[in-house]
A = this chain, B = another copy of it.
Amino acid sequence: MADLRGGDLSRLRQLNSLTAIRELRGSGPLTLSALAERTGLSRPSMKEVTAELMALGWVEEVPPSQGTMGRPARRYRFRADSGHLVGVDIGGHNIRAALSDLDGRVLAETRQPVSLDAPLADRLVAIERAVTGCLTLSRTRMEDLWLIAVGTIGVIDIEGRVIYSAAVPAWRDLDLAGELGRMFPCQVLIENDSRLAAMAESRRGVARGANDVVFLHVGRRMGAGIMLGGKVHRGFGAAAGEISMLPEARWFDAPEHLNTCASVPAGTPPEDAAGHTLSAARDGDPVAIEAVERYVDDLAVGAAAMVLILDPQMVVLGGGFSRSADVLLDRLRARLERKCMRMPEVRASTLGDECVVMGAIDYAVEHLDEQLFTPDKGPLPVTR
């Protein structure tokens, strides 16, 4: 509403075309009348819009559905297959990639393990392999990629440089946008992974329909992503959501309660310790339960800070530990209930490990929408 400047007549057509595409994308093939009803336009106008979209290659006709009363209506669908998107999740230990059509429907997925302290070159190679893996799996050519969206750990500045990364040494002070821009021939978007996870949950996960969502990444490291008004909240310098940096929020060392619990068997590899503790707590081990209580005590402080400041509709628990959401959720709820002014819904992620990749794809889809009718903005193929 704010940046709306009316203007030309053609702008009106653009907007109407865009809403038509959004409707088509959301609901599969639609008849002209259905489309007209949904967009609020008249049928003849809608017809003109679809004709234009078909000429542009965005929309195509599909065979009419049979068995209906009256003359069968022509049906149109968004040509989601006329281009491809890739979402990448650059984690500490794994690099995931997924290739999707323009609707965000996943066509191929890959995963490349990578060690935390791998040198930069290895990590970059793993990224390239993850993406090319998706391409071969789905028999897609690199030239058919329109957009790659990348979610990564660390704080990324507006230009796509990694300005902070506690976990991954090779990642610090890296011009990630530059590296990936050289690697792939299409546009590359870079975003913080927790923000993308938040987006995925609010688009296709447990928070679908909620516009104001806080995503808590609980795992070996802590993080948070924020959706406000249905949009990713990046902040003025793209550093929003970094509450784990604040000692008083007690997030940074919170996982230690689970890692150092006495009920973890000796010899357990450190990356599995927290999982053991959570399982033991589920089975009723009082020592483990005590550790979990202390963990959630800490978790709740940062979470309450976010809830009190933002007042979101929903808090989504994601990340590695959210597999044990049954152990964590009610405990977190109880503490937030005491600390918060207005209690938000608190739910566990339904997308799990796929969260960030899915969010990256959703992010790419959103960007696509925005660029559909501003061809000067980015090098998007218009017809095919």
Binary B-proximity of A42-72 (CB < 8 A = 1, otherwise 0) = 0000000000000000000000000000000
A308 contacts the other chain (CB 8 A): yes
Tell me how far the C-beta of A173 lies from the nearest C-beta in chain B, rounded to whole angstroms: 15
A248 and B254 alpha carbons, distance in the complex (Å): 15
Binary B-proximity of A207-241 (CB < 8 A = 1, otherwise 0) = 00001100000000000101011110111111111
A306 and B241 alpha carbons, distance in the complex (Å): 9
Residue of B nearest to A301 (CB): B248
Binds B, one of A8-16, A92-100, A183-191, A320-328: A8-16
Tell me how far the C-beta of A64 lies from the nearest C-beta in chain B, rounded to whole angstroms: 27
Residue of B nearest to A41 (CB): B7
Tell me how far the C-beta of A154 lies from the nearest C-beta in chain B, rounded to whole angstroms: 11
A306 and B235 alpha carbons, distance in the complex (Å): 11
Tell me how far the C-beta of A107 lies from the nearest C-beta in chain B, rounded to whole angstroms: 27
A311 contacts the other chain (CB 8 A): yes
A340 contacts B6, C-beta separation under 8 Å: no
A382 contacts the other chain (CB 8 A): no
Tell me how far the C-beta of A341 lies from the nearest C-beta in chain B, rounded to whole angstroms: 4
B344 contacts A236, C-beta separation under 8 Å: yes
Tell me how far the C-beta of A50 lies from the nearest C-beta in chain B, rounded to whole angstroms: 14
B233 contacts A228, C-beta separation under 8 Å: yes
Tell me how far the C-beta of A263 lies from the nearest C-beta in chain B, rounded to whole angstroms: 28
A282 contacts the other chain (CB 8 A): no
B-contacting residues, A5-37, CB 8 Å? 5-7, 9, 11-16, 18-19
Q: Which of B4, B249, B340, B344 contacts A245 (CB 8 A)?
A: B340
16 more A-B residue pairs beyond the given contacts A5-B16, A248-B305, with a C-beta to C-beta distance below 8 A: A6-B13, A6-B14, A6-B18, A6-B19, A7-B40, A11-B12, A234-B311, A235-B310, A235-B312, A235-B342, A239-B311, A239-B342, A240-B309, A243-B309, A245-B339, A249-B305
